[in-house]
Amino acid sequence: MKITRIAGVSVSAIFKHKVRTFLIVLAIMVGVATITVIMALTRGANKKIMQRINNFGPDAIMIHSGGGKLEGPATASEANLTKKDIADIENIDGVTLVSPFQVALDMPIKYGNKFTTSWVWGIKSNWKDAWKRGATKGEFISDADNEQLSKVCVIGQTAVKDLFGTSDPIGESILIENTSFKVIGILEKRGQAPVGADFDNLIVIPFTTASRRLMNQPLYIAMARAIVINPSAVKKVAAQIRDVLRANHNMADTEEDDFRITSPVEITKMIKSTSRTLNNFLWLVGIISPLVGGIVLMNIMLMAVSERKKEIGLRRAVGAKKKHIIFQFLAESLMLAFAGGIFGAVTGIVVTVMLAHSGKPVVITWQPFAAAFIFSAAIGLFFGIYPAKKAAALDPANALTQ
């Protein structure tokens, strides 16, 4: 076949001009590797957002005391939610349950000579249902614990690791800010909170014990978590909760909320806004990088054409048609671009794996290879056609005398 013979000419040119081949492949490789890494990072970031939303709970609404603040939990010292607030929220249509809790951040925890800090939350027994999170081992906080103001706690796995290492914590006593609590269970693992904090560095104790013994907040409630029947109704219910709280707190229309409501809608918005600038920048780099690779390819191919004028003239003299010359140079560009694409995808995967090891969330799929294929074909064709046409357009008589 004539076409395979001409493709053979392209292949041998690729092997005869090693420096040129190396430079083009390198340029395309960098471009495709960039795209590959960016795809993995973006998919990783999206997966992380989904995970955080799932951690938060797609059917949950959080009510924080105090307004103004943008993120993070409200603590017992700023608590301003009342028992009536909680009861009124419970009565809203579509709300299945409301679980109030007290919050203290970074409390000093001691066990023997070990020391750590942890969030301490005072909770009701329905916390388990509101967070879909109970004890993996031992008991959970019960209604009786709340009635008796028991000094018991269920501790998160980070605290377990920090204080007990590998030994069994159940039945041991720990000091939370100098008050002794008996460990009755270990909390289920949860991972990162939407705001980025470690959800496993948490110790829960009975609500009443927290209010009266530990946080000195017998009147008000720091936070509550409401669960709705239908996740799609979250926005509507959140608005109703706001109306109820504003009415209960006797707020004038001009006043700003003295509480804050967060739902998965806000969480998504919050995470996306912090990553948007970076994402746009990444994609810009991702587009520019292969483009630069393509320009390098075109540049070097143009140089190759003017360097090989005499060869082109000779080929024309012995009978090559214009289309043969176009095919020869286009095939050269395409093969170089593909080689760059393959190396680029492999390099991209290697870099991605390295990023994954350094803790960045990434997702590796088949798509980078498809993208590398499409990108390098597009680059090879788009940036290769002009040099190829230029080569074919050379006047054979002139080219021969170069």
Give the span between the Cα atoms of 402 and 384, in whole angstroms: 23
Q: State the binding string over 368-397 for other proteins (x if CB under 8 A, else -).
A: ---------------------------xxx
The residues in 263-322 that bind other proteins, with binding defined as CB under 8 A, are 310-311, 314-322
Q: Which residue lies nearer to other proteins by CB, 243 or 307?
A: 307
Which residue among 92, 97, 291, 400 contacts other proteins (CB under 8 A)?
400
> What angle do the packed helices 309-317 and 264-307 form, to 10 degrees?
70
Question: How many binding residues for other proteins (CB under 8 A)?
Answer: 25
Rg of the chain over CA atoms, in angstroms? 33
What one-character DSSP code corresponds to residue 165? T
Instruction: Tell me the per-residue interface mask from 323 to 352 with other proteins, x by CB under 8 A, - otherwise.
Output: xx----------------------------
The contact pattern for other proteins, residues 8-37, with x = CB under 8 A and - = no contact, is xx--x---x---------------------
Q: Which amino acid is at 4?
A: T
Under 8 Å between Cβ of 395 and 322 = no
**Residue 258 touches other proteins, criterion: CB under 8 A:** no
The minimum distance between CB 11 and other proteins, in angstroms, equals 13
3-state secondary structure of 126: coil
Q: Burial code of 325-344, b = ≥16 C-beta within 10 A, e = fewer?
A: bbbbbbbbbbbbbbbbbbbb
* Shortest distance (Å) from residue 305 CB to other proteins: 16
Q: How far is the CB of 16 from other proteins (least distance, A)?
A: 5
| Shortest spacing between CB 289 and other proteins, in angstroms | 33
CB of 329 to other proteins, least distance (A): 14
By beta-carbon proximity to other proteins, the closer residue of 9 and 183 is 9
- Shortest gap between Cβ of 318 and other proteins (angstroms)? 4
- Closer Cβ to other proteins, 249 or 309, answer by number: 309
Q: Give the integer Cα–Cα distance in Å for 227 and 229.
A: 7
Return the number of the residue (187 or 392) whose C-beta is nearest other proteins. 392
CA pair distance 71, 69, nearest whole angstrom = 6
Strands (DSSP E) along 193-296, which ranges? 202-206, 223-228, 259-262
Residue nearer to other proteins on the CB measure, 254 or 401? 401
SS3 (DSSP) at 289: helix
Q: Number of C-alpha atoms within 13 angstroms, CB side, residue 67?
A: 10
CB 223 within 8 A of CB 81: yes
Which residues contribute to the site for other proteins (CB under 8 A)? Answer: 2, 5-6, 8-9, 12, 16, 310-311, 314-324, 395-397, 400-401
